[in-house]
Every structure is written in C-alpha cells, then in structure tokens.
Amino acid sequence: MLAIGFPSAAYQASADLLIDERRFLQDALGLRSDPGETPTASAPGSDEDLAAPGAATQPASDPAPGTQSQVMAQPNAPIRSPIRPAPSDDPLAVIANRIRGVVDQSPMPVSAGHLAAKLKQEYPETLENWNGSGTFRAFFRSLKLSRLEWLSGSGGRIMDPVRHETPDSSPTDEPDSPWAGAGPMFTVVRDVCMLTAAPLLAPHEMQLVLTLLADDLQKHTFELSASTARVCNQCLAREGLRLRLRDVAFLLRGMQLNGHVFGQGHDDFATLASRLVNQVLFLCEREQRVLDGASVDLIRRWIGGDAVA
C-alpha cells in the first residue's frame, strides 16, 4: 500500500507493506523536493537521531538487489539513495541511538541492568562513571531521549509506553520523568497515540517543538525535510532533547493535512497548536474513538498548554 496522509489502523493492518509517500517519491521516482538543495539531515521517517546541530550528511550506499527501493522503481528509472547523517563524532549521540535500537527491538521493557552492562562493555571510555552522571539512571535521563521512559522496580526498566505494556507501574510515578504527576493526561494521551500513531511526546516536549517551529518559520521558508531537521537540531541545541525526525515530521504533516498552509502569516504558536489538536481529534474520530469533553481538554493542554485549552 502506498500511504498518502495517515491511513487508518484497519487499512494498515490489511496491507502486507506500507510505503510512505516520501519514500516513494525519493526511491521509486528518484525525486527530491528541490534538486539544487543539499539535505541537512536524514529524511523524515528515518530512525536516526541528529548527532548534533548542523550535522553533516553523506549519501548512503546504493541498495542491494531485491530491496524495497529497487522493487518499487520503474524500469530504467534512476534510483537515488536517501541522504543519511554521516557517522557522528559525538559518542553520546551514538550511545543514544544504541539505546533506542535496543528498546525498539525488544517486545517488552528492557532491563536497565542488562543494558547498562552492555553499554559499559561497548563504550568503556565514554561511560567511565557514566560520563560524570554517577549512575546509569542519571545518565539515561541526561540523554533526554524522547518517547523512552524509565520505570523503577525490578532493578529498573526502560520502555516505550506506546509499545510496551506496564500494568504494575507508570512513568507518571517517576519523579524525574517529564510525565511526573500527569496521570490522567498520560492515560488519555497514550491511548490516543496508540490509536493514531502520533508521537507520545511529553507536554513540554510537544510545546517546545511548536515554539521552535514558530520561531524557525519567522526566519526560513517552510520545507518539510529541512524544517524538520532544523527543529530537531534546535531542540538538541537548546535543551539537549533528542527527538526523532519522523516524530517531528508527523506533527508538521498533520498540520498540513488539517489545512494549514505554512508561510502565509499564520505560523504563531497558538495557530499551529490548534491545527495539530484538530488533526489529532480528526484521527480519533476516523478510528471511531469518541472522546468526552474532559479528554478533549487534556489533549488540548498536552499539545498547546493554556494557549488552546
């Protein structure tokens, strides 16, 4: 299935392969949004984090015969490999991606003790005294990996709340979690993100993205890939927050699908947040999930705080 926009959960479940439209344009048709532009980061949808603000890029190697790229390509059509970040010189970025990879591949929360031992073995110099943090938990928190949470008990576990079930505990019970004390909101938002595939960012993280996006649009013309990369870089530079490109791209595309046109003088925080709220509510309605007034208010506060509550 070639997915244009946000396909429903039932539609996705019926497909053997889901192809993002940007991947189709780039790999099957060999097109870029601007042939004269050199991308500054990997395309949205990549699992790579940006290593550092202004990270350099290099072309990836050509795909091997029989890969998805060649299967989709038309006969004799040029195939352009996606642009991906060059190997980072920042060891913390490498370790951050390593943690994400381990958690992504696990069907259940990952044992913090087991992961800590593995990281110590792989990166002994960088992780001497946990890079000055003293403990693995403090080091994990210092990385500020969006969407990943630490759970106490059983020696500690690291989880992705959208993918991992934790009936005995919640990130809202952890005092150093960005979701601390937000029990009712977390429950509603997690349910909505599982249903719609929206990124489960904490309220401060979501509002930081919108704030930096509004600032960026005052200085640069909107282009999905470039704008996504700049916002991710700014989140890392200003607050050390490591966002996934695909999560920010999801938010920007959601605003567009809800009717927002960037660059027409209505790119303030409140307008962007309202557009995103409307898109999330639309996706819930499409999946036949009826939200009561209290839940809608929590969604508004999650995305836009008091500006759209």
Predicted confidence (pLDDT) per residue in 173-205, tens digit: 999 999 999 989 999 999 999 999 999 999 999
pLDDT at 305: 92
pLDDT of residue 47: 45
Q: What is the C-alpha separation between 216 and 210, in angstroms, rounded?
A: 10
Span 133-161, mean pLDDT? 94
pLDDT cut 90: percent of the chain above it: 64
Judged by average pLDDT, the poorest of 18-22, 62-66, 163-167, 273-277 is: 62-66
Please choose, from the candidates 38, 33, 70, the residue with its C-alpha nearest in 3D space to the C-alpha of residue 57. Answer: 38
Structure tokens at 290: 């009826």
> Residue 83's closest CA among 36, 46, 51, 54?
46
Phi, psi of 158 (to 5 degrees): -115, 135
Poorest-confidence range of 3-17, 65-79, 99-113, 137-151?
65-79
pLDDT of residue 59: 36
Alpha carbon of 130 to those of 60, 98, 102, 158: distances in Å? 32, 15, 18, 17
Residues in the chain: 309
pLDDT in tens, 32-84: 644 333 333 333 334 454 434 444 333 333 334 333 333 333 333 333 333 34
Strands (E), 2-122: 2-3, 19-20, 57-59, 83-85, 110-111
Tell me the two tokens of residue 123: 């990166």
**Amino acid residing at 25:** L
Q: Are 151 and 111 in contact (CB under 8 A)?
A: no
Query: Which pTM value belongs to this model?
Result: 0.76
pLDDT in tens, 219-248: 999 999 999 999 999 999 999 999 999 999
Q: What is the maximum span of the chain, computed from C-alpha positions, in angstroms?
A: 57
Banded pLDDT at 5 (limits 50, 70, 90): low
pLDDT for residue 62: 39
Question: What is the pLDDT, as a whole number, of residue 131?
Answer: 93
Q: Which tens digits make up the pLDDT trace of 74-131?
A: 333 333 333 344 455 689 999 999 999 999 999 999 999 999 999 999 999 999 999 9
**Within a 10 A sphere around the Cβ of 51, how many other Cβ atoms?**
24
Burial of residue 44 (number of CB atoms within 10 Å: 0-12, 13-18, 19+): buried
Residue, of 18 and 120, whose pLDDT is higher: 120
